[in-house]
Structure 1
């Protein structure tokens, strides 16, 4: 079978990359007998400067994290203008932090189909929440990755049997509004402009500059931001000295709320075409 296997993802903290690469690697091993996968990581700003095009000979495992129940809005311009499927088969993957994926799965599927992909499979997986080190801690874990491998096997069977009709993905149209946290009185709380702080542990290693998906952290003074913060958690979770943190009370209250209210383990949901 002459199919090129691709893994394409936005993954600031690595959870989406692990899921997407796991699916793609397993598909490649089943089809080609080895891990022959082209990886397209569009996490950093420079990777989103150029258009990319696939063909009908490609299988693309495409993944994004869920932000506020939707596909991250900072990606929409890139996703809607720079990616051409040209009949490529696609597996649509969203990864969320154990709260809910809301309408992210159907939104990503719609985006891919509007760009010429044939979405015949999809999944909603769980990764450690970007705000927290305890909510869905260390996920995807071994159990998740076993599900990934089994899912990839089912995808391969669909490809081999040419059963790649459009898949049904749950969700609403029109999509729900972006999820917004609420205070103790039920009033919406807007944390979009909240930014991380830097403490005295910082040794100016510049790692936070390198991992910021928006290119917002100032190289000369890493305590400053020159652009927006999307709360992806990369600068906090990847800092070797725990020098980055949030201190905004609204953010911290919301973080505590979701850690308490959504502590029960959720499991991946898988979607495959019926024929």
Structure 2
């Protein structure tokens, strides 16, 4: 038994989830000698064409963890645009060394309701989008060994199992989002925070506006952010001129708290 086709599907503003999901997909495809394709859904929106996967396909679908869950502004598009037909699924979530909390359980539940059958899953530490120190260097060499071991177990499921059973994931898919805290331990609210543009560095090339998942940045004047910002940090990461940054005090206090409190290497989770 093996899949007809393997797909690595990812929503990945800063590229970390993309790297993980592509790596896992390539490895499984190589082990099973199955065709493989990557699909980038980072710019998914209400106008996007639906993705329909077949029975017999294997989809590795990756999302970053935002406040312990799947990004709430993106979740409706996942629910509306991505469908299976008793399609094998490996949900994959990344997190920035704090915790993946309920994101893996939520992603599995949402996709199960859309015709997917989860047969394995993983939650892996990657560099935090907010910080240059949180999760730096992850996945590290030991993580990569564990990922290879995970792939081996998935391969063996297809090679040796007569039927492939669904798996369950830790967490509560209905739990509320994690409440961010500042350095003083008190809750902080930076929902309205938006990136600031340094006019001495910005050349108004429009790159950030074209690739913003929320289409929040003005295409004609990249210093203006009229739309909703979800703090995904894509504009900060992709700007070749380093013109974008976040300077909101509550946001910076939260980042400082994370960098102070979550220095220990968090553990990945693999389920098969």
TM-score normalised over the length of structure 1: 0.92
- Higher mean displacement: 203-212 or 45-54: 45-54
User: Residue in 2 aligned with 1:225?
Assistant: 225
User: Residue in 2 aligned with 1:245?
Assistant: 245
User: Residue in 2 aligned with 1:215?
Assistant: 215
Q: How far does residue 138 in structure 1 lie from its aligned partner after superposition? A: 3.6
User: Residue in 1 aligned with 2:155?
Assistant: 156
User: Residue in 2 aligned with 1:8?
Assistant: 9
**3-state SS, counterpart of residue 157 of structure 1:** helix
Q: Number of residue pairs matched?
A: 269
CA contact (8 A) 2:46 2:77 kept: no
Residue by residue, what CA displacement relative to the aligned partner does 1:133-180 show, whole Å, maximum 9, x if unpaired? 11111433333333222211211111222352111210126x321112
Q: How far does residue 190 in structure 1 lie from its aligned partner after superposition? A: 1.2
CA–CA distance in 1 between the matches of 2:47 and 2:267? 31
Q: How far does residue 120 in structure 1 lie from its aligned partner after superposition? A: 0.8
CA–CA distance in 2 between the matches of 1:31 and 1:66? 29
Equivalences for 1:1-275 in 2 at 5 Å? Answer: 1=2, 3-32=4-33, 36-45=35-44, 49-162=48-161, 163-172=163-172, 175-183=174-182, 186-199=185-198, 200-272=200-272
Q: How far does residue 252 in structure 1 lie from its aligned partner after superposition? A: 0.5
**3-state SS, counterpart of residue 73 of structure 2:** helix
4+ residue runs over 3 A deviation: 45-48, 183-187
**3-state SS, counterpart of residue 159 of structure 1:** helix
Structure 2 stretches lacking a partner, 5+ long = none
**3-state SS, counterpart of residue 250 of structure 1:** helix
**3-state SS, counterpart of residue 255 of structure 2:** helix
Q: How far does residue 186 in structure 1 lie from its aligned partner after superposition? A: 4.5
CA contact (8 A) 2:50 2:81 kept: yes
